[in-house]
Structures are given as structure tokens and as C-alpha cells.
Structure 1
Amino acid sequence: MKATFTMKSESTLHNMPVPNMAPNQVDEDVSLLMLWHNVRSHARLFAGVAAGIAALAVLYILVAAPVYKANALIQVDEQQGSALGALSDVASALSLNKPIDGELDILSSRAVLGPAIDATQARTTIAVANRVPLLGRLYGRFATPPDGVADAPLGLTQFAWGGERMELTVFEVPNTLYGEKFRLQVQAGDRWTLEDRDGVNVASGRVGQRVEFTVQSDYGPGKGVIEVRSLRGRPGTSFKLIEASLQDTIESISKRMKVEETTKESSMIALSVKNSDPERAARFANEVARAYVALNIRHRAEQSRLSLQFLNRKLPAFREELEQSEDRLNAYRIRTKTIDVEQQTEALLTRAVDLTKQKTLVDLNLQATREQFRAGHPAVQTLQAQSAALDQGLHEIEKQVQALPSTQQDYLRLARDVAVNTQLYTALVANGQQLEVAEAGTTGNVSIIDLAVPPESMDWPKVPVVIGGGVFGGLLIAFVLVQALAAIKDALHDPLEAERVGQVPIFAVVPSSSAELETAKENHKGGKGVMALLAGKDTSDPSVEALRSLRTTLKFALLGKEGGSILFTGPTQGVGKTFVAANFAYLLAMKGLRVLIVDADMRRSGLKRYFSLAPSHAGLANVLAGDVTLDGAIVKTGHDGFDLLPAGGVLPPNPGELLERPAFATLLKDAEARYDYVIIDSPPVLPVSDAVTLSQVCGAVFVVSRANLTSRHQLVETMNRLNQSGTKVTGQVFNGFHATRYGYGYGYRYRYSN
């Protein structure tokens, strides 16, 4: 007795409270081993999420609407069309060849997409209206014959099951009904009926017949027209028709169309179009390619026509200038009687004629270019730079001419004018003739190499991509989910972590016992009320070995003294404090010591599952209430020196008040006088204050925490409450530990051989 209470006056190093301690102050060491353990701890959740997402990927493949991609190939030539023969002298500065990026933009322009949309009636969205959702598409994928309609299962002919198809030549409705649903019903004998959004029959006809109709809108009646090109489906099949504006259709198609150069500077353009119907995808891609070629031809023909008009305006002026220059030269020769010039003057004349001719051609092209392009266009800027360079050359020649005698200077200028005007006029007449031919037979500089054909296999969904994405995506999502749950739970995983968080040494690490778990399951299934103590049933179990080591180190916890009262508590229920207390008490008794184990949890008694008790037995509650004596409440367990003081047959309404009475301290002194050790299984610390009250009068206090259940915050709060009450926590017991999960490879496999 004296030794027990002397312990309370020892060094108070561990008694100091830790008011500022918080879980986030602990080092967060994240390792691959810890991440793997989190996965194993939530194995069912992880497998369920991963398998569920993989199953969704498979389901998506089966029920998703297939998308097909049709491809066409277009070539852009560098030189083609109207630049023929002598015309190239004029047209060189007016080159119609554009960078390939510009051609890609033209292919995606409204000027090309608009005619293609009109040719394919792409403004109208057509869909089967009476198909069974999901199941109908899945059935049709496997049951639809080529160029036919799938047979209706179970005689359900009122539904569409695959292979139904309709093509329109024209379908037009008032602008106010864009986006509204019309319904076309298939009738017998290639006939059909059309209903508006309100279900009113507005038109009827047969395949190939153009029918005009009147339809009611929010702004009054409007005119519409429809012509069905082809129709496939059993009578009763219903198609949904939705007309869109041209701008909305272009925006929608632009998202499903891709135009790109096959390889850099290859002048080959790859055009691809995606659609749920392979034939519509190929048809639209071909119409886009044809519209692009037609636009290119029209553009080049227009350029030839404009160039010819420009030349026809300039030719009379050049002819008149030629005649005037010849007259001036002849008059000068007659007046000065000049017949020939020196060799040096002849060389200057030749060079001046050549530069002047080039200058005139460049200026002529510059004028024509300015009529077609703005001032900042690259073609205009190039011609301006060429004109400036030629001006510089003519200026140098003029300096040399000024050094000649006056007679030679005058003759040189007049002869140069005649020569230049003669060459220009002759060249322009020839170019005009060439442009007339070019305008009549212009061809484009683009051509279709490969027309699109209906694709045989779908472009999406791609089975390997979707399955791979589902599997890896499922694993990733499941991994992130279990890690997030583990982070939220913030549970303790290993004894070093528990010791660091609790700031109290670990006296025993009790591994998880598979034998104890099996026994608990069998008792639960069989409805048995009492479980055998593991320490008595399997003395070599790793958990028992760990508790035996606690028995060995107990005298160090008691500072070399033996005997007294020992309290086992924990942050919350379920940590295994009752298991630890009961088996530890049994091991002490097996050592030949007198041991009394007290069930102080009068709210939720736990020891009764290990010991057989009468239905109306007395216990601690009865002793504290003064109804019975200690001797009248103690129960023999059947083991020598090992007795039990149960909580009581009828649990009191005020257990906290009973424990606070002096009667409990008196009871504890009496028990310590009779027994070597009094082991107390107390309630958890956090739910109620009973454990704090009991700890005030006990010789040693051990806090039991459980791996993967007790959180850091719970352990910190438990230690704070005990320390703030002045209780010295003797040590910790870390229960439910899986050694091999955290790299403690030695395990608990060491046993004695027989």
C-alpha cells in the first residue's frame, strides 16, 4: 500500500501538461510503404472503386454512339493556271500561290463549308426517335445486317432496333422554328408523314417527292418544304428532324472537322470529318474538297479577268507613247543628221533600256496589285522595294549620260524611249492574248488526290484506349480516394509514431492476433457468451508474447517496486484495452502472483465476455453504493490467485458520481492489501471523465491505442486530459500492429521448440 502511493510523489517530468500539442505539429513522413498500407487498409474500397470505373468503361464502349472519321487528301501545286508563257512577266508579281497555312484557313472558311452544307443537307440533324435507350443501340450493334434493318426481338416492332436510315434532299422550315423537333413517321409503301413540334401532321408524301407545307410557329404560320431522298425502316419507325441555322451548323461542323498539312512543306492537305454515320462523314468530306477546288478555280479565273481588264486599259496609252517616241527620234536625226553613236553610248543605251523596261513593268504590276490588295500587303511591299532599287540603278546611269556630249545625251534619251516603248508594247500585246486564253480555260492549282470513302471501323470509342483509361483511371481515382480517407482519418500506423505523438514511452507493442479475431467471429456466429482468454488458450501467440514482455518490464515502470494498482485506458472504445488488461492480468497470475482485475467500465462492461457471471451478480457498482461488501462482489475465475470484480449486474445511472466517492479509494486500498496487483479496466478517456477520476488513485496508468484506429488528435487529447489532471501517464501500449506492413520484418515468429 505504501509503495503504491509513494509512486505519486516521484519525479513529475511526465506530469507536465502539453496544452499546445496538436497533431499537425508531428512530422508528416510520407513513404511509399505508408501509401501502400493505406491501400491495403482500404482494400475493399480500393478494389470496388477501381472495378466500378473499369466496368463503366466497358459499359461506355457497349452503349456509346460510335463516331466514324472519313479522310480525303488534297494537293496544292506551286505553279498552275494562268501564268502562261510571256504572261508570267506580268503575273509573277501577282502570284496566286499562298502559304499552305492560308489554304488550311480557306478550307475551314464559310465560303467552302457553306456549299458543302447545302449539298449534304447538313443543317438538318436526323436521329431515330423510337429506339430503346442504351439497350437498343447495344442490340443494334450486334444484330443489324449490312444494308438492312435488325429484326425486332420478342415482337417489339414498335421500336427501332438498328439499321434505320433516312436521307434528305431538302428540308427547310421558318427561321423561328430552328432548333425545334419535327418527327417523320415511316409508313408502308415508301410513304411518310411529318409532324411538327406539337404533334400536328403538317405533310405527307413518298420517297423522292418534294412537298411544300405550312407549319405554325410562335409568330404565325410559315412555309416549309421537304423531300426525302431515301428511307429505310419498318412502318412505325420514327425519325427526329432538327433544322439549325447556317452559322450554328458551321460552328458545329468545325468542331468535328480537322484540316492539316500531312508533313511540313509537303503541299499535301489531309481533310478529316467525323460523324456518327460513316456515309454522311465521307459525303461531307468529299463535298468540302469539291467546294474548295471550285472556289480555287473561280478565284484564279477572276484574277485572270482583272489582269486582262487592266492590260486592255493600258495598251492604248502605251501604243500612243510608242508612236510619239518614234516621231521624236526621227525628227532629231533629221535635224542633227545623226546616223550612229559611239560604242560607249551604245552600251549605256542598252543598259538604260533594260532598266527602264524593268522599272515600267514593276510600276505596272504595282498599279495592278494596288487595285486588288491593300497598301500593307506583302505583294505591294515587295514591288515597292523592287521599284526603289531600279530607281537607284537608273539614277547611276543618268550620271554617266550627263558626262557625254550634249548631242549624244539627247540621242541616247530619245533612242532609249523608242526601244523601251517598243519592247513594252510588244510584250503587253502578247500578254493580253495569253490572258484571253487563260480566262477562257483557267484551272486551279489544287486537286483532289483521294476522295473520302465510308470508313468501315469506328474512330471512337477506341476499345484499347477506353479500357486502358478505365483501368488506369479507376486505379488512380481509387488510390487518391483511399489516400484522402487515410489523411482525413489521420490514424496512427506504427509505434514510433505513437510514441512521438504521445510523448510517453511505448512499453509494449501488441501485434494483431488472428486467433483472437477468429475466436470472436465464432462466438458471434454461435451466440456464445464467453470467450477464452488468448493467454490461456495459445501461450505462444505473438500478442501474448508481447504482453509477457510488458509483464517483464513492469518493474521498470514501477521504478523497481512490485505490486499496486495498474489502470488500462484508451482514447476511445475499440482500441483493445479490455483485451490487454484481461490477458495481462492472467499472465501476472500465471507467474504465481495474486491478481484482482476490476471492471471499472460501469457504462459498457467489457470483461463479461471473458468470464462467466450469474445474471444478477453483484459488482463494483454495488460495492460503491454500499449494497454489498468487497468480498461479496469478488468472483473466482477458476484460476488460482486470479479473481474478478465485475462492474455489476445492473449498471447504475450515475457511474461517474460513484467513482468520485471516497468509497472507491477505500475499496482500492483494501484490494491492494489483499492482492499483489489490482488491474483496472477503465472506460475510455475522451467520451467520459471516469478514466481521469480513476487515474487519480492508481499507482500506474497505461494508455492503449490501436493501429489504424486511433487518430493522432485522439491520442494527443487523451494525453492532455490526463496530464492536466495531474496524472502521470506511465507508458503506452500500442495494440493491433501489423509488423510486416511497415518494414518490421522480424515479425513475431520466434517460438520455443518442443
Structure 2
Amino acid sequence: MSETNTIAPGKTGRQNDDEIDIGFLLGSLWDHKIFIAVLTLVFALAGLVYATLSTPIYQADALVQIEKKSGTIPGADMTEMLGGQEKDSETSTEIEILGSRMILGQVVDQTDLDIEIQPTTLPIIGDWLRRKGVTRPDFMEGHASVWGGETLAISELVASHESSTLKLSLESLGNGRYRLKDAQGNELGQGTVGEKLVVEEPWLELTVAELDAPAGATFTVIKKSRLAATNDLKSRLQIETQGKETGILNLTLQGPDRQELVKSLNATNQVFLSQNIARQAAEAEKSLEFLEEQVPKIREELNEAENRLNEYRLESDSIDLSAETRNALDKMVSIEASLNELELKESELARRYTENHPVYRALLEKKEQLMREKARLEERTDNLPETQQQVLRLSRNVEVNQEIYVQLRNRMQELRLVRAGTVGNVRILDDAVAQGQVAPRRNLIVAVAGVSGLLLAMVIILLRAALNRGVVSPEQLEELGLPVYATVPLSDSEKRGSGKRRSKPGGLRHDRRKKDGSAKSLLAFRNPADMSVEAIRGLRTSLHFAMMEGSSNRLVITGPSPTIGKSFLSTNLGAVCAQADQKVVVVDGDMRKGHVHEAFKQDAHGGLSEVLSGKLEFGQAVRTSEVENLSWVSRGSAPPNPSELLMQARFSEFLDYLSENFDLVIIDTPPILAVTDAAIIGKQCGTTLMVVRFGINTPKEIQIAEHRLATGGVTLKGTILNAMEKKAATSYGYYGYYYNYSYKSE
């Protein structure tokens, strides 16, 4: 003998459907921990597969130094006056030049980056197989896919297009021959490795340097425009400064081909170095051109000044200057030479800076100072005799022009040496080297994918828990004004057996073995000590007193929706009552989809529908079972009009027959929210109970079902909360009363 007791709950659960119980949500996560773990593992494995099959991306780097650049005219470089500001500006300028289309476009021309070859591979795993060097199997002979060791190299591809991308298909014909097609599949021509193929429309010239692939292997050849190839290179190139005010640049380039990365990055450095040298030499060339224009003019002015001085001396018989006049002349000549030198500097700075630049402003201030000093000297010489003043002026012009002429000649020689030996201010410290794979980062991808799976599983469970309005406690039913006659837990034995035999909700199993008329599949017969059976025994006791007030010995078991365990409760309640020496008959009132016959391992034909249609007598429809005092009536063959059959007088006569011959008539009816059969049957029975499935049926459904029965004239006696489970989501609160004790015979 077994007996199960319950403890009154300490508090009710989710009294307000609009409130979210944090403890319930956390418990729901724990209840579904296996689902969370499985989904997390699936996502992590998917991330691992993605990281493994993705094309690896490598990175190459190089180091370049931008040295301090001096001006082509001595003294013109005044960056030391500004500290490191000018150097930082110069480095930033060089970075922009290095990333410009002027530099990268030349790199594209030198390295053929405008030609891209894409081998045709198998879907998903084709690239991975090719990277691993897996050779073509025999059964793939003639297939368009490219396998490990099969290559194509193009030495020349010239097309007429300028801004658009040309896409071609090259198919190997074997023995070094190939067929060229356009994007639409039209054949453009056939060629041989090493020979130039000329196509007129669209015009192009193609020379294949190497083709190592069997017949059928196909490659996609893309001829990019120069601008598209340049922009692609620019998007992959990164330039960063190393340290502060060092002038050292770190160049990195990423891509799937390590050889192409090293080749492209080295070409970028060389093009940048060459243009820097050319730019420095160009500055010297411009300065030299300016000086070559000025030297003849200065020479002519010097000759004129000498002639005027000689003529004046002959006219005035004045040959020598006094000491005072000679001293003034030397100072004035020095000032004129300095002014002339500043003018040369100004001509160069005007090409590089604006007048507001600090270097340019410093030069102008120095020039104004010399002009003021020159003016003071001229005032002093105004007191000299007229002859001395004139000789002074003419001598000054001669000596100034002579000084300027010598300076220009010397500067021209310096510029010629600068132009011949220009090395630029760029120095390559480290050549390009492929450092290794930078993407995809396998560990990071697997971790992110696993966390994504974890979060997705948690979101799914939390959303289901938050949106779930199913009844999970007897108190919720009592708040609706419905007495709870029994709380039936989900059978442990049924849960253990679900791995071998799929169970219907509530414990009625689909067992398609031989239908031998056995009632051994009933839980009350198979495992009478089960907790569910003990709860049904408690229901038997409650019904004994409830049906005393009823008008008949007929009990209707209904529910709001299907698959909530009505048949399980009907059959096992019948078995439990039969074991208490009551003559019990269980009637399958669901003539559409009833399955009471499955509990007794027999067919459904020869049941209620045949009785109501007059094809079968009352006594012939009643079948006995192995359980003493327990009989049952199947649903019969599914009729087209079940509701109409139930409304006939023959159904009332059949119920009277059963009531006279049995102590208890239990009728399993269809869901009340689906059809009206339950209301029709309940109208002719004394007691009606509604089965509510734990966590499935909502309070709203129960209220509508009760209203539907009341509309049909049926008074609902109470409810049965079926298939209750003890979960972490509920054990912290309103499941403290759960079935905690079992008293079994030894």
C-alpha cells in the first residue's frame, strides 16, 4: 500500500500575470540547462567549422623612415625654430602621399594587381580542400572544380575598358590549351600557353604563362579597372607612425596570398622612395632654372655699373675714396648682399609657404631690419661732398652686383651637385615580410559563436517563460473560483519509459504492438504505487462525496484543449474505482479522435458511433478488461456527424442503460473549446470535471471553457490539475508543497 501526502503551499505563484517573477525565470533556465548546453555546443561547432573553412587572411609589414628634409637653399630651412611641429607636419604629409592614388596606382601597374584569378571550387569545402593540397579524385575527372596543385598564371592581360571590370572564364582543354569565354558563357577564342591570344570583340590580349590543370578545370579571370584595383589596395594598406616624433612609419598589408602581400608592399616602398627622390631633385631643378635666368641679368647690370663708374672718374678726375667713404661703402655692400640672399630665400619659401607661415614671417622681419640699417647709412653719406657721394653710389653698385654675381654662380654650382646627388629623405628600414595569419581568429570565433548560442538559448527560454501564462499551481485555479479535486503529478515511470516508447501527455502511450485486449498498459495496473496513481486515488475519494450531490452516477471528464491527459485520467480513474469493488465503465465520447481503445490494446470499431447509428446493441458495445469490475466502450468508427448523433434519443437511452448496469459511468469527451460534444454529453450527466494541463492551459482558456459549458447548461463541478512537474522554476516558491513523501509497503 502506498500513500502520498501534500503540504499546504507557503505562497502562491504568479498571482498577477502582468508581473515577471525573477526566481521563476532563473529556475526556467536551470530546468532547460540541457537545451542551453546543446544549443551552445551547436553554435560553437558551427563557429569552429566556419573558422576552419574560411579563407585565411595573412599580414605583411615593412618599416620606413621619414628623415628631416632640408631646403635646397642654405638657410631657408628654419624648422628648428618650431621644434617638432614642422617635423610632425612633414611626416603627416608623407603619410598622405604614401596612401595616394599617385603612388598606389604605380604599384598596381608594376604588380598586375588589376588581374585577379579565382579558381572554381566545390561549394563550402572546395577552398579548404584546395588549400590542404587535396588532389583531384578519379571520379571528379572532367569536373569544372579546381583541386590542389592545379594552377593558372597570366603574364599579360590588356583590355580596352577603362572604368569597368571585365569578367572572363578560362577553361582548361588539356595539353596546355584553353578556351576563353565571357561572363555570359559565349566563347571568345582558344589559345595555347605561352602564346598571345587576341580577341577583337571585346578587344583584349591575353598571354597565359602557366596552366597546370586537367581538361575541364575552370578559372574565373577578372580584369579590374586601374581605379578599382587601386582602391582595393588602398583599403588593405594601413600606415601608422611608430612612437612620437620619430618619423618612422609601419606599413601593413593584408590579404589571402602571402607572396602577393610581400611583392605589393615592397613595390609600394620602392615607388614611394623613387617619387621622393624625384620630388627632391625637382626642387633643386626649379631653383637652378630660376638662378640661370637671373645670372645674365646680374652680369649685365655689373657691366653697366662698372662703365658708369669709370666714365664718372674720367670726367671728375676723382680716383680714390676717403677712408670714411670706403668704410660706408663696405657696410652698404654687406647689407645689399644680405638683402639679395634673403630675396633668394624668399623666392623659394614663396613656393612652399604662405606669408603667414612662421618661417616666412621671420624672413620678412629680418629683411625689414636690413632695410632700416641701409636707410641709416644712406643718411650718413648725404653729408659727403657731391663728388664723393657720386663715386660712392657708383662703386656701391659695382661691388653689390659683383657680390651678387659671385653668390649666384656659387649657388648654381651647389644646386648642380644637389641635383646630381639627391637621395631624398625616405629610407627603407625593413623590407616587407609576411608575419602570419591574422584572420579568421579561430578561438575568438568559436568563443563568440558559443556565447551567441548561449545567449540565444537563454533568450528563447526566458521569452517562453515570460510569455507563458499556463496554470502552474492549484491556487491559480482557486482564484478563478474553481475547486481543485486533485493535483496529479507527471508519472516518474512514464518519464523513464519515454526513451523507448513515446508517451502521450498525461501518461497514455502509443504502443502499436499486438492488440490482445490487455489492460496491463494502464498505469494503475502496471505500477499501482506510482505517485500519479496515488493522486488518482485521492481523486476517487473526493469524487465519492462530490457525486453524492449529483443527479446521476455519470462523470464527464473534459478539458479546454487536446493532449492534456483526459484519456489517461479517465481510464486510470476507472481502474482505481474498479479496484474499490465498484462496477465501472469508461466510455470514449470523442468519436473524432478518441484513443481510449489504445489503453486496452484493441481496435476502435464496434463502439459508441455504431451504437448511436443503430448498427450495434447496447450490450454488444460494452467490453470487459482484465481489471475486475472494469468495462469500457470504444469510440467506434469516426462518423461524419458526431454532434448530431449525441443529440439523438438513442444516446440518452444508452446512458440510462449504462447507469442501470454500472455503479460509475466515466465519459471521456472531446475538448470543449474545439467542439460542442462535451456540453451535449455533460447536459445528461450529473458531474463534470475539467482537466487542466500543468503549464499548458491558461486561465483565459479555462474561463472560456467554463463559460462554454455554462452556456450549454452544464455546471462545472471542479478541476483536476494534471501532469504537474517539480522544476527549479517553481520549487523555490509555490512548489514547496509538492509531493515530498511516499509511504510504500516493504
Q: Does 1:254 align with 2:234?
A: yes
For residues 636 and 120 of structure 1, the distance between their equivalents in structure 2, rounded to whole angstroms, comes to 93
Residue matched to 2:443 = 464
- The one-letter code of the counterpart of 2:26 is L
Q: 2:488 aligns with which of 510, 518, 523?
A: 510
Question: How much does 1:490 deviate?
Answer: 5.0
Q: Percent identity?
A: 23
Q: 1:535 aligns with which of 524, 530, 537?
A: 524
Residue matched to 1:215 = 199
Q: 1:224 aligns with which of 187, 194, 205?
A: 205
For residues 16 and 409 of structure 2, the distance between their equivalents in structure 1, rounded to whole angstroms, comes to 93
Question: Does the 8 Å contact 1:618/1:633 carry over to 2?
Answer: yes
Residue matched to 1:5 = none
Question: Does the 8 Å contact 1:120/1:284 carry over to 2?
Answer: yes
Q: Does 1:268 align with 2:248?
A: yes
Q: Map 1:173-322 onto structure 2 (within 5 A).
A: 173-175=159-161, 178-181=165-168, 183=170, 185=172, 195=180, 197=182, 198-201=186-189, 203-204=191-192, 206=194, 213-218=197-202, 222=203, 224=205, 226=207, 228=209, 240-262=220-242, 266-310=246-290
Question: How much does 1:112 deviate?
Answer: 1.1
Structure 1 range deviating more: 287-296 or 50-59: 50-59
Q: 1:654 aligns with which of 637, 641, 662?
A: 641
Q: Map 1:425-444 onto structure 2 (within 5 A).
A: 434-444=414-424
Question: How much does 1:576 deviate?
Answer: 0.5
Residue matched to 2:66 = 76
Question: How much does 1:393 deviate?
Answer: 9.0
TM-score when normalising by structure 2? 0.71
Q: Map 1:125-144 onto structure 2 (within 5 A).
A: 125-128=116-119, 137-143=127-133
Residue matched to 1:548 = 537
Residue matched to 2:742 = 751
Q: 1:448 aligns with which of 428, 432, 444?
A: 428
- The one-letter code of the counterpart of 2:488 is V
Question: How much does 1:32 deviate?
Answer: 2.9
For residues 433 and 89 of structure 1, the distance between their equivalents in structure 2, rounded to whole angstroms, comes to 23
Question: Does the 8 Å contact 1:489/1:711 carry over to 2?
Answer: no
Residue matched to 1:569 = 558
Q: Map 1:726-741 onto structure 2 (within 5 A).
A: 727-741=714-728
Question: Does the 8 Å contact 2:156/2:205 carry over to 1?
Answer: no
- The one-letter code of the counterpart of 2:228 is D
Number of aligned residue pairs: 682
Gaps of 5+ in 1: 1-22, 145-149, 342-348
1:469-503 Cα distance to aligned partner (Å, 9 max, x none): 5544555556666777x589957373369649967
Question: Does the 8 Å contact 2:586/2:668 carry over to 1?
Answer: yes
Structure 1 range deviating more: 716-725 or 442-451: 716-725
Residue matched to 1:34 = 28
Question: Does the 8 Å contact 1:588/1:595 carry over to 2?
Answer: yes
- The one-letter code of the counterpart of 2:678 is A
Question: How much does 1:691 deviate?
Answer: 1.3
For residues 686 and 247 of structure 1, the distance between their equivalents in structure 2, rounded to whole angstroms, comes to 69
Question: Does the 8 Å contact 1:86/1:434 carry over to 2?
Answer: no
Instruction: Indicate how the Cα distance of structure 1 residues 291 and 596 shifts in structure 2: closer, same or farther if over 3 A, else same.
Output: same
For residues 650 and 177 of structure 2, the distance between their equivalents in structure 1, rounded to whole angstroms, comes to 98
Secondary structure of residue in 1 paired with 2:536: helix
Secondary structure of residue in 1 paired with 2:560: coil
- The one-letter code of the counterpart of 2:561 is T
Instruction: Indicate how the Cα distance of structure 1 residues 29 and 477 shifts in structure 2: closer, same or farther if over 3 A, else same.
Output: same
Q: Does 1:718 align with 2:705?
A: yes
Question: How much does 1:386 deviate?
Answer: 5.1
For residues 136 and 657 of structure 1, the distance between their equivalents in structure 2, rounded to whole angstroms, comes to 65
Instruction: Indicate how the Cα distance of structure 1 residues 656 and 393 shifts in structure 2: closer, same or farther if over 3 A, else same.
Output: farther
Residue matched to 1:346 = none
- The one-letter code of the counterpart of 1:452 is A
Secondary structure of residue in 1 paired with 2:511: helix
Instruction: Indicate how the Cα distance of structure 1 residues 643 and 530 shifts in structure 2: closer, same or farther if over 3 A, else same.
Output: closer
Question: Does the 8 Å contact 1:86/1:427 carry over to 2?
Answer: no
Question: How much does 1:454 deviate?
Answer: 5.0
Question: How much does 1:111 deviate?
Answer: 1.0
Question: How much does 1:98 deviate?
Answer: 3.6
For residues 564 and 438 of structure 1, the distance between their equivalents in structure 2, rounded to whole angstroms, comes to 122
Question: Does the 8 Å contact 1:83/1:91 carry over to 2?
Answer: no
Question: How much does 1:446 deviate?
Answer: 2.1
Question: How much does 1:570 deviate?
Answer: 1.5
Structure 1 range deviating more: 383-392 or 645-654: 383-392
- The one-letter code of the counterpart of 2:63 is L
For residues 515 and 73 of structure 1, the distance between their equivalents in structure 2, rounded to whole angstroms, comes to 73
1:609-645 Cα distance to aligned partner (Å, 9 max, x none): 344779875658737969756x7765555666x5546
- The one-letter code of the counterpart of 1:437 is L
Question: How much does 1:686 deviate?
Answer: 2.1
Instruction: Indicate how the Cα distance of structure 1 residues 393 and 653 shifts in structure 2: closer, same or farther if over 3 A, else same.
Output: same
Secondary structure of residue in 1 paired with 2:166: coil
Question: Does the 8 Å contact 1:196/1:202 carry over to 2?
Answer: no
Residue matched to 1:680 = 667
Question: Does the 8 Å contact 1:523/1:531 carry over to 2?
Answer: no
Instruction: Indicate how the Cα distance of structure 1 residues 649 and 666 shifts in structure 2: closer, same or farther if over 3 A, else same.
Output: closer
Q: Map 1:699-718 onto structure 2 (within 5 A).
A: 699-707=686-694, 709-710=696-697, 714-715=701-702, 717-718=704-705
Question: Does the 8 Å contact 2:559/2:690 carry over to 1?
Answer: yes
Secondary structure of residue in 2 paired with 1:118: helix
Secondary structure of residue in 1 paired with 2:671: coil
Residue matched to 1:17 = none
Residue matched to 1:161 = 147
For residues 595 and 181 of structure 2, the distance between their equivalents in structure 1, rounded to whole angstroms, comes to 75
Structure 1 range deviating more: 692-701 or 471-480: 471-480
Question: How much does 1:283 deviate?
Answer: 0.8
Secondary structure of residue in 1 paired with 2:731: coil
Question: Does the 8 Å contact 2:285/2:419 carry over to 1?
Answer: yes
Question: How much does 1:598 deviate?
Answer: 3.8
Secondary structure of residue in 2 paired with 1:68: strand
Question: How much does 1:137 deviate?
Answer: 4.5
Question: Does the 8 Å contact 1:90/1:361 carry over to 2?
Answer: no
Question: How much does 1:179 deviate?
Answer: 1.0
- The one-letter code of the counterpart of 1:451 is D
1:318-375 Cα distance to aligned partner (Å, 9 max, x none): 9979x99xx9xxx9x999989999xxxxxxx99xx99x999998887666444456x6
Question: Does the 8 Å contact 2:52/2:442 carry over to 1?
Answer: no
Q: Does 1:495 align with 2:473?
A: yes
Question: Does the 8 Å contact 1:26/1:501 carry over to 2?
Answer: no
1:212-234 Cα distance to aligned partner (Å, 9 max, x none): 5531215xxx4636373x66667
- The one-letter code of the counterpart of 1:704 is V
Question: Does the 8 Å contact 2:27/2:727 carry over to 1?
Answer: no
Instruction: Indicate how the Cα distance of structure 1 residues 544 and 26 shifts in structure 2: closer, same or farther if over 3 A, else same.
Output: farther
Residue matched to 1:742 = 729
Residue matched to 1:172 = 158
Residue matched to 1:345 = none
1:235-285 Cα distance to aligned partner (Å, 9 max, x none): 987655332210121223333333333556553323233343321221111
- The one-letter code of the counterpart of 1:570 is G
Instruction: Indicate how the Cα distance of structure 1 residues 27 and 489 shifts in structure 2: closer, same or farther if over 3 A, else same.
Output: closer
For residues 104 and 199 of structure 2, the distance between their equivalents in structure 1, rounded to whole angstroms, comes to 29
Question: Does the 8 Å contact 1:127/1:240 carry over to 2?
Answer: yes
Secondary structure of residue in 2 paired with 1:584: helix
Instruction: Indicate how the Cα distance of structure 1 residues 702 and 72 shifts in structure 2: closer, same or farther if over 3 A, else same.
Output: farther
Question: Does the 8 Å contact 2:482/2:719 carry over to 1?
Answer: yes
TM-score when normalising by structure 1? 0.71
Q: 2:95 aligns with which of 92, 104, 110?
A: 104
Question: Does the 8 Å contact 2:597/2:603 carry over to 1?
Answer: no
Question: How much does 1:739 deviate?
Answer: 0.9
Question: How much does 1:687 deviate?
Answer: 2.0
Please report the RMSD computed on the Cα atoms of aligned residues, expressed in angstroms. 5.6
